[in-house]
Chains A and B, each alone.
Chain A
Amino acid sequence: VAAIFSRSADTVFRQVVVGLVVGAGLFVVGWYYYALPSYTRVGYEPQQPVPFSHEQHVGQLGLDCTYCHTRVFDSPVAGVPPAQTCMNCHNKEKANVKGTSPYLQPVYASFKSGLPVEWKRVHKLPEYAYFNHAVHVNKGVSCAACHGPVNEMKVVRHDQLLTMGWCLKCHDNPTPHLRPVGEVTNLSWAPGAGRLREEIGAEVRKELQVKPPTHCQSCHR
């Protein structure tokens, strides 16, 4: 009987098997690198219509987060400021801080026309996830815990993963991420000399009864 398979068939078969295993492995590795939020989200740094620098306004000038994001302590959404807020300073008639800067043209135009400045959205949770800013900041979770060191960012960058697993890490053990409520918007806050974040966090946790929920309804409705 003539051989059905040639001598090389075994080799080809082995090569195919190895190739498939390697290919599948590459696919999985590639998937993990390219398809997960660590690649698709973290580092997202879109160019904004106005080159507003948080580094300058917060880091250097010391503006508090709530000067612009006014509703963060009582609303689910912190809010993006209206052009009106910018016009408190950048206004020819008022303080006239760079009152005619070409960079600020979209703000002037918005203030005049009533149409919004089209800011690019950086942080976005899936539609089925409901995050509440107010309850977090009122329980001693700093802005920096999710948004990173914004006071050092010239352009706002997506700093943290904001995936469910990432959220749950803190919800399982919030202690290291808590600080006194008064320091929540102080992005460069550090525990005093000789004290550990865990120590302070544990105190805050006890005092504010921090018991982060881990069941589905707290975020999915």
Chain B
Amino acid sequence: MTPREYWRSPDDQTGTPGAPPRDEFPGFANVFESLGEAEPADDDPHAAALSRRGFLTLSAAAGLAGLAGCRRPDLEILPFSAIPDEQVGHLAPGKPTFYATCLPRPGGALPVLVESHEGRPTKVEGNPAHPCSRGSTDAHAQASIYDLYSPDRVMSDRYPGVMERGLPRKWEDFDRFARHEADRLVKEKGKGFYVLAEDLGSPSVRLIRRHMKKAMPEAVWVTYEPCDTSEAQRGAEIAFGAKLAVRYRFDKADRILALDCDFLGHGPDAVANSRAFAAKRAANPMNRLYVVESTYSVTGTIADHRLKLASSQVGGFLVAVAKELTAHKDKLKHAGSLPGQLGSAAPAFVLPETWVKAVAKDLAEHAEKGLIVVGDRQPAWVHALAHALNDALGNTANVGFRDPPPEAAEEKAIGELARDMAAGKVNTLLVIGGNPVLNAPADLNFKAELQKVARKVRLGLYHDHTSEACDWHLPLAHPLESWGDAEAADGTLCCVQPLIAPLNGNRPIGTDPAAELAPPPRGGRSVLEVLTLMTQYALPEGATKANPATTSYVVAKGRAYELVRRAFAERSGIAVTDPNFATEFNRYKQLGFLPAEKDKSRKPKDPGEVKVNIDAVRKALAGQQPVPAPSKEAIEVGFYPSYSVLDGRFAMNPWMQEFPDPITKLVWDNAALVSPRTAAEFRVKTGDRVKLTVKGTVLDIPVFVLPGQADYTVALPFGQFGEMRISHVPDGGGFDVFPARKTDALHFATGCRLEPTGKSYDLVTTQEHGVIPEGRDIVREVNAGTVSRESKTSASHDGQGHGHGPVIGIPPDGHVTPGDLRKGFQGGYGNPPADRGPPEVKQRRFPLDLARPELLDSQFQWGMVIDLSACTGCSACVVACQAENNIPVVGKADVKRNREMHWIRIDRYFTGPAADDPQVVTQPLACVHCEQAPCEPVCPVNASVHSADGLNLQVYNRCIGTRYCSNNCPYKVRRFNWFDFNKRRPDELRVPTPFAREGMALQDTGVPETLKMQKNPDVTVRMRGVMEKCTYCVQRLERAKYGSKIAAAEVAQGRAVIETDAGFRPEGGSPSAYRKPKDPRAAGYDLDAQGRVIVPDGLVDVACAQACPTRAITFGNVLNPHSRVARLKQTEGEYLLLGELNTKPRTSYLPRVRNPNPELTG
């Protein structure tokens, strides 16, 4: 049996014809900086022309200049003048506060907790109490904190806040305009008034709309989202006869067939879906996921079986499955829901027969415990058919249904708006959020039609394409700056509450207290604040009457808050005048949402009520004609939201721009993704620009060769602007593909042409960065068969090349199999897991560091387990780490030189026998905290040292930047600050000096002040010349340790009273003042067997583990036998990455477990 091969890119794979020979040390160019490709080419505009000698001369001069020492400057301490009432007892400088709020997004808000340090929000976490988050977030939620502080939003010189036709204005000017305009609109019953909004999902906005209906009945509300879901909605309407919001329960499904559906990677519910899916993945028996899709998605990477199929053929595939299901009629619950006549929509190509048969059989055998899910990209009839099949299989119990809000039915689509604009029916247009000028379907000619509107007002987070085309640009307040509310994907009401006043880059602090009442000249306003102005929403009876001295800003703010209260009153059924209202409303703000059981007005539908209208489905199917399969002459082009910038709403966010795409690992750009075979036929390679003709529109875009892409299809991730609009960022910005996206082909277009142009473009991908040399046991895989991962019996080696490492299945009495290299070296945690026997008897630990065990004498021994079978590669951890640990962006030019600073990276490996249809394994990798760390002995200044807690520390104030540690690190997880990335803007890292055209900057030009506000004050901001790496979030560990010690001390001193365990006697230790609590988690501390204070498991988590939507990362104290991490460390198959090097990493991995269908693997 040959070991299974893993590769990162087509070039990397051996045996590919024409592939260059492998480097001896692939991706090590960052270490040997002067060698190979990492040295910028001469014609590179960013090339440093400074020679080594010149540099040394310069550094000597700089050294002498630094000798001017002096006393420290005088610093001030500025306490409150009076502590605000709501913060008495909560506010403690140095201790973060957490507020529950939510981040509105199309389709459903994400409930979050936001960490605030002395009034500055610094980090977003999921709300553990809410079922849509359960404490997890996605990458975009993590990155949204940057948007709050983005200098382009709050302190750009080019866009000074409120603007009218390009000229700076004040909010008062707009107030005057709005009052005048609203008077007129009310008089004219709202004729010609259109509101074009993104999907706000806000009940309080619906209150305003109800008021609008009365005050200006002819006003029109238009909703537009580029990630269009109308086909899915229409599909549900066909199948169920009513507009229903559909939500799938993946925690109930054993068999999932996902058709062009990226339910783990995209959409409002991806976080909840991931959590639910992962729970079922870890269960016994495991679930099985079939994915049919045209490009590789996050969902595809974790699939057990993936079929690459052009999007236009997916419907045909489902028809084939439906036909096959008729053969299993006896197993179906409602065979009557099977559409009989399917002939006309039959696929026009040869489907893999075994696939269809096996999938249908598997689904039928798991009737009632399966799901067929279809992506928003597919036409309505495919959705309708899938609903019918789910009903036939009895799977509707795994689906949740809700009625959409009544206002949704009155909304118009953007196409109608464009027609009305062309017809001159639109006089006043208010555009809320979104960026329709950029991303409206190209055939609507939106920008040109917009010019026919007399008064155009734009409320937007950034001054973008749409703002430029409108008369008024109003800065929108960030959700963390404003009052509001939104519905989560499951329909629960979540509150949006401000953590900070609208940021205002140019307002002097502390000059005039009366200025507090004036509207900030630049600070944003919320949707509610502007809408109340524009619609003359009156203050309700009994609300605070506005003081005549206060400005309209204060009034609008008061109204917005009042609206949020009223929306809550309506949903909770507690009137504003009710004596309980204040308590309940405070509880709502504290929890962040209104629990579903307290929601009086919107209930989920009973699945029994929902009936499939099979005739309507048949009718929808009857009209379908087979779509010819894509060919070389007629390429299929698919449009996908980008994993990094989404539909463009994160294109102004450098964190998301530098976020390596989970699949392609591209940064700062997008590209046309093609399969290796298609690339070979057109004789193009990654980076070659091609001419792509989509329905008459020509795009000039570079290709990226992606194994696993369906042949003759091109995937175009949209959202990039085609230019870099982030100030001070010189490169990137990708290619704008919206011009090719038209109403009749919003998701995919067939019959397109591709021609090479012979030009090329510099695409930067991190997929070859930090490569661990060949032939090492990096990723392990195992097939589940019938044995679950947690089982005591060994999972058998399947003999198909899966699990290419040592045989999985470790005898329960020992840690490793005979013959495993680790046995000779790894002390490990060679004890049976806690649940196999009383921990106090069996718990023992080999000395962690064999050489100097006395160094690891702490009761805290931190460790991590990463479960590869749960990791989807979504990369939320990467951005979570960036926000938590003050990690800068470096820019495209420096990522190209392997200088990205992310402490955790997701290695994406392709594997499998077929080079153009591989499977994917994603492996998160940060510093693994070796107990025998190779980086430590080579540091000449002792900057890389070990702690008693088993952490491998990097001491920044000792580091002199020799980079020996990075050279010696086999995992390639250390990051070096080549520049003062935290002190300088990306475009000013290199400025001309007398020695070089683009040398090293010697003066600080400074980063915008607002960006400094985002920094976590508990983490040092590193300077140039310093090595850094994952610290296991040591600031959180220390906070947790202190917290537990203080909690124990409070009990010991009688300042806190809890229930304690009187019978506890520490082993070997003398009695101390500390008492063992009965409920350690509630008490905030625990005592270990020796009577030492420890942190109870689950009270501390690292940023990556906390963000992870699938809980693939588990962190904790491995010395605590009750901890989840200690139990996972005992799991069969747990392995150490590069364990044979005797580094004894604290981070270990669980293998990727796949659950293949035996009928498909043969």
Chain A contacts to B: CB under 8 angstroms: 35, 40-41, 44, 46, 71, 73-77, 79-84, 110-111, 113-121, 124, 126-128, 130, 132, 134-135, 138-139, 181-182, 206-209, 213, 215-218, 220-221
A208 with B1020: in contact, given A77-B93, A119-B77 (CB under 8 Å)?
no
Asked if A83 contacts B1074 (CB within 8 A), the reply is no
**Stretch of B421-429, B466-474, B765-773, B949-957 lying at the A interface:** B949-957
Q: Given A217-B947, A217-B949, verify A209-B1093 contact (CB < 8 Å).
A: yes
A201–chain B nearest beta-carbon distance, Å: 15
- Residue of A at shortest CB range from B1019? A221
B93 touches A135 (CB 8 A): no
Bound-state CA distance A134–B1049 (Å) is 10
Interface residues of B in 1059-1094 (CB under 8 A from A): 1070, 1072-1074, 1091-1093
Q: Is the CB of B1072 within 8 A of A207?
A: yes
- Residue on B nearest A112 in the bound complex, by CB: B81
Asked if B1046 and A127 sit within 8 Å, CB to CB, the answer is no
Given B92, B1050, B1053, which contacts A77 in the complex, CB threshold below 8 Å? B92
Within 8 Å by CB of B79, from A82, A113, A217, lies A82
Contact A80 B79 (CB under 8 A): yes
Number of contacting residues on B, CB 8 A? 53
Partner pick for B81 among A44, A76, A115, CB 8 A cutoff = A115
Asked if B995 is an interface residue, CB under 8 A from chain A, the answer is no
Whether A208 contacts B1018 in the complex (CB less than 8 A), given A77-B94, A130-B1038, A213-B948, comes out as: no
Tell me whether B1038 and A221 are in contact (CB under 8 A): yes
Given A124-B72, A221-B1018, residue A114 in contact with residue B1031 (CB < 8 A): no
Q: Are B81 and A75 in contact (CB under 8 A)?
A: no
- Evaluate contact between A128 and B77: CB separation under 8 angstroms: no
Residues of B within 8 A of A41 (CB): 72
B1072 pairs with A206, CB closer than 8 A:
yes
Contact A121 B82 (CB under 8 A): no
> In the complex, are the beta carbons of A115 and B1073 less than 8 A apart?
no
Q: Separation in Å of the B847 CB from the closest CB of chain A?
A: 18
Q: Which residues of B contact A76 (CB under 8 A)?
A: 94-95, 1042
Contact of B75 among A84, A121, A130 (CB under 8 A): A121
Q: Do residues B1072 and A114 form an inter-chain contact, with CB atoms below 8 A?
A: no
Would B80 and A116 count as touching, CB distance under 8 A? yes
Interchain CB contact (< 8 A) of B1038 among A124, A128, A218: A218
Among A76, A115, A216, the most chain B Cβ lie within 10 Å of the Cβ of A216
Contacting residues, chain A, for B510 (C-beta < 8 A):
115-116
User: Which residues of the partner chain A approach B947 to less than 8 Å between Cβ atoms?
Assistant: 213, 215-218
Of B72, B1034, B1070, B1072, the contact of A217 (CB 8 Å cutoff): B1034
Q: Which of B79, B95, B953, B1045 is A215 in contact with, Cβ under 8 Å?
A: B953
Known: A44-B71, A138-B1045, A208-B1072. 10 other contacts (CB 8 A): A76-B94, A82-B80, A119-B77, A127-B1020, A134-B1046, A181-B1049, A208-B1073, A213-B947, A221-B1019, A221-B1035
Which residues of chain B are near A221, meaning CB under 8 Å? 1018-1020, 1031, 1034-1035, 1038
B95 with A75: CB separation less than 8 A: yes
Indicate if the CB atoms of B78 and A209 lie closer than 8 Å.
no
Known: A74-B1046, A80-B79, A139-B1049. A209 touches B1072 (CB 8 A): yes
With a cutoff of 8 Å between Cβ atoms, the chain A residues found around residue B1046 in the complex are: 73-74, 134-135, 138
Contact yes or no, B1020 A84, CB < 8 A: no
Q: A128, B76: Cβ atoms under 8 Å? A: no
Indicate if the CB atoms of A181 and B1053 lie closer than 8 Å.
Answer: yes
Q: Which of A46, A71, A220 gathers most chain B CB within 10 Å? A: A220
User: Would you list the 4 A-B pairs with minimal beta carbon distance, nearest first?
Assistant: A77-B94, A76-B94, A75-B92, A116-B78
**Contact: A84 with B81, CB < 8 Å?**
yes
User: Is the beta-carbon distance between B82 and A82 smaller than 8 angstroms?
Assistant: yes
- The interface residues of chain B lying within 8 Å CB-to-CB of A208 are 1049, 1052, 1072-1073
B819 interfacial contact with A, CB 8 Å: no
Distance in Å from the Cβ of B863 to the closest Cβ of chain A? 16
Give bound CA distance, A114 to B1050, whole Å: 34
Chain B residues with CB below 8 A from A111, complex form: 81-82
Q: How far is the CA of A163 from the CA of B1053 in the complex (A)?
A: 31
A204 to B: closest C-beta gap in Å: 9
CB closest chain-A residue, reference B1090: A209
Q: Is the CB of A118 within 8 A of B92?
A: no
Closest to B1053 in A: A181
Whether B957 pairs with A128 at a CB distance below 8 angstroms is yes
Of residues 929 through 949 on chain B, the ones whose CB sits less than 8 Å from some CB of chain A are 945-949
Could you list 6 examples of A-B contacts with CB < 8 Å? A79-B93, A113-B513, A116-B510, A121-B74, A128-B1020, A217-B1038
Residue B69 lies at the interface, judged by CB distance under 8 Å to chain A? yes
Contacts A116-B78, A128-B1020: A71 and B92 contacting too (C-beta < 8 A)? yes
User: Chain A residues near B409 (CB, 8 Å)?
Assistant: none
In the complex, what distance in Å separates the CA atom of A115 from the CA atom of B1064? 52
A interface: dominant SS:
loop
Name which residue of chain B comes closest to A117, CB basis. Answer: B79
Per-position 1/0 for B484-521, Cβ under 8 A of A: 00000000000000000000000000100100000000
Within 8 A of A (CB), among B1018-1060: 1018-1021, 1031, 1034-1035, 1038, 1042, 1045-1046, 1049-1050, 1052-1053, 1055
Task: Let me know if A74 and B92 touch, CB within 8 A.
Answer: yes
Residues of chain A with a CB closer than 8 A to B1073's CB: 207-208
Interface string of B58-95 (1 = CB under 8 A from A): 00000000000101101111111111000000001111
Q: Which of A82, A138, A213, A217 contacts B1049 (CB 8 A)?
A: A138
Would B92 and A119 count as touching, CB distance under 8 A? no
Contact indicator B81/A116 (Cβ below 8 Å): yes
Question: What distance in Å separates the Cβ of B397 from its nearest Cβ neighbour in chain A?
Answer: 49
Report yes or no: A110 in contact with B1072, Cβ–Cβ below 8 A.
Answer: no
Closest chain-B Cβ to A166's Cβ sits at a distance in Å of 16
A215–B1038 alpha-carbon span in the complex (Å): 12
Which residues of the other chain, B, contact A84 by a CB distance below 8 angstroms?
Answer: 80-83
CA distance A139 to B1053 in the complex (A): 11
CB distance from B852 to the nearest CB of A (A): 13
A77 vs B91: C-alpha distance when bound (angstroms):
11
Q: In the complex, how many angstroms separate the beta carbon of A70 from the nearest chain B beta carbon?
A: 8
Residue of A nearest to B1093 (CB): A209
Known: A77-B93, A130-B1038, A208-B1072. A217 touches B951 (CB 8 A): yes
A220 touching B1020 by the CB < 8 A rule?
yes
Q: Is B1092 a contact of A209 with CB atoms below 8 Å?
A: yes
Instruction: Give A129's nearest chain B residue, CB to CB.
Output: B957
Q: How far is the CB of B859 from chain A (nearest CB, A)?
A: 9
From A83, A127, A130, contact of B82 by CB (8 A): A83
B1021 (CB) vs chain A CBs: closest residue? A127
Indicate if the CB atoms of B72 and A132 lie closer than 8 Å. Answer: no
**What residues of chain B lie closer than 8 Å to A181, measured between beta carbons?**
1049, 1053
| Contact flag A35-B956 (CB < 8 Å), given A80-B79, A82-B82 | no
Q: Is the CB of B93 within 8 A of A71?
A: yes
* Chain B: CB-nearest residue to A140: B1049
Query: Chain B's nearest CB lies how many Å from the CB of A168?
Result: 14
Contact A82 B81 (CB under 8 A): yes
In the complex, residue of chain A having the shortest beta-carbon distance to the beta carbon of B76: A118
Given the interface pairs A40-B71, A71-B92, A75-B93, the reply to whether A139 lies near B957 with Cβ below 8 Å is no
A134 nearest in chain B by CB position: B1046
Identify the closest chain A residue to B1049 (Cβ).
Answer: A138
Chain A residue nearest to B1073 in the complex (CB): A207
Report Cα–Cα, A124/B75, bound state, in Å.
9
B residues in contact with A130, CB < 8 Å: 1018, 1035, 1038
Q: How far is the CA of A114 from the CA of B1046 in the complex (A)?
A: 33
Query: Quick one: closest B residue to A133, CB to CB?
Result: B94
B72 near A40: Cβ-Cβ < 8 Å: yes
Q: A135-B1046, A213-B948 are in contact. Are A35 and B69 (CB under 8 A)?
A: yes
Name B948's closest neighbour in chain A (CB-CB): A215
Distance in angstroms from A181 CB to nearest chain B CB is 6
Q: Is the CB of A216 within 8 A of B1072?
A: no
Q: Which residues of B contact A117 (CB under 8 A)?
A: 78-79, 81
A117, B80: Cα distance in complex, Å: 8
Instruction: Determine if B1042 and A135 form an interchain contact, defined as CB atoms under 8 angstroms apart.
Output: yes
